[in-house]
């Protein structure tokens, strides 16, 4: 396809959706600058693949999906800062009051009492900062199973901790 025709097709099909993409990007990220970057990356990908688009009616969903995937790639590329553990001299309870230490201990005890299939995904999410996708891959379960297990683990912890509080209050 000649460059001029490709440019016209791109502008006709894609450029008219820029505002919708920006709004979606803002909704996904909560940050206007990041949303602008995502829209720009989406447009670059659309430019490269515009010849592969067969159904004109599919332009908007195609662009929205591309933007969502660009947002996900942002986290795949993110490298967390590392700290040499020997440089840090921390105690378990540094900066925490007695109540917080007791509550953290109770949470860990109750988490250890949960069935492993519920405790493990919650540990991965809460202590390791893993996303649902990472939990899914690590445990070899579906996304919905991972989400369900994390939800049920939180629910069971909440019930157990509130029961402990009732026992303490009643004593």
Q: Does a structural domain hold residue 100?
A: no
Query: Looking at residue 153, which CATH number applies to its domain?
Result: 1.10.10.10
Mean pLDDT on 105-110:
79
Tell me, what's the pLDDT at 150? 93
Same domain, 11 and 72: yes
Tens digits of residue pLDDT in 30-88: 889 999 999 999 888 888 887 777 777 778 888 888 888 888 888 776 555 666 655 55
Q: Does a structural domain hold residue 136?
A: yes
Residues ≥6 apart with Cβ < 8 Å to 121:
135, 139, 146, 149, 150, 153
pTM of structure: 0.43
Tens digits of residue pLDDT in 116-143: 899 888 888 887 777 898 888 888 899 9
Tell me, what's the pLDDT at 88? 52
Confidence of residue 152 (pLDDT cuts 50, 70, 90): very high
- The answer to whether the beta carbons of residues 33 and 41 sit under 8 Å apart is no
Query: Looking at residue 68, which CATH number applies to its domain?
Result: 1.10.1740
Q: Which of 62, 77, 92 is the last residue of a domain?
A: 77
Higher pLDDT, 104 or 111: 111
Q: Round to whole Å and give the CA distance between 63 and 6.
A: 17
pLDDT cut 90: percent of the chain above it: 16
As given in the structure block, the two tokens for residue 70 are: 């660009």
Same domain, 73 and 7: yes
Going from the C-alpha of 22 to that of each of 36, 57, 138, 171, the distances in angstroms are: 6, 20, 33, 56
Q: Does a structural domain hold residue 82?
A: no
Confidence of residue 145 (pLDDT cuts 50, 70, 90): very high
Range of the domain at 7: 3-77
Q: Does a structural domain hold residue 50?
A: yes
Same domain, 70 and 118: no
Centroid of chain to Cα 97 = 31
Tell me, what's the pLDDT at 48? 83
Q: Domains in the chain: how many in total?
A: 2
Coil/strand/helix, residue 55: coil
Tell me, what's the pLDDT at 19? 87
Query: Residues in the chain, how many?
Result: 171
Same domain, 164 and 115: yes
């Amino acid at each position: 396809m000649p460059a001029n025709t490709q440019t016209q097709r791109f502008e006709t099909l894609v450029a008219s959706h820029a505002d919708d993409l920006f709004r979606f990007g803002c909704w996904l990220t909560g940050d206007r600058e990041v949303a602008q970057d995502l829209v720009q990356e989406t447009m670059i990908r659309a430019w490269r693949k515009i010849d592969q688009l067969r159904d004109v009616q599919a332009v908007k969903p195609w662009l929205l999906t591309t933007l969502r995937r660009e947002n996900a790639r942002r986290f795949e590329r993110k490298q967390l800062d590392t700290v040499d553990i020997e440089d840090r001299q921390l105690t378990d309870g540094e900066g925490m009051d007695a109540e917080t230490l007791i509550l953290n201990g109770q949470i860990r005890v109750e988490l250890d009492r949960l069935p492993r299939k519920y405790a493990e995904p919650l540990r991965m999410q809460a202590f390791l900062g893993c996303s649902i996708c990472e939990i899914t891959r690590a445990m070899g379960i579906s996304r919905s199973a991972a989400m369900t297990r994390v939800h049920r683990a939180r629910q069971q912890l909440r019930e157990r901790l509130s029961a402990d509080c009732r026992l303490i209050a009643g004593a």
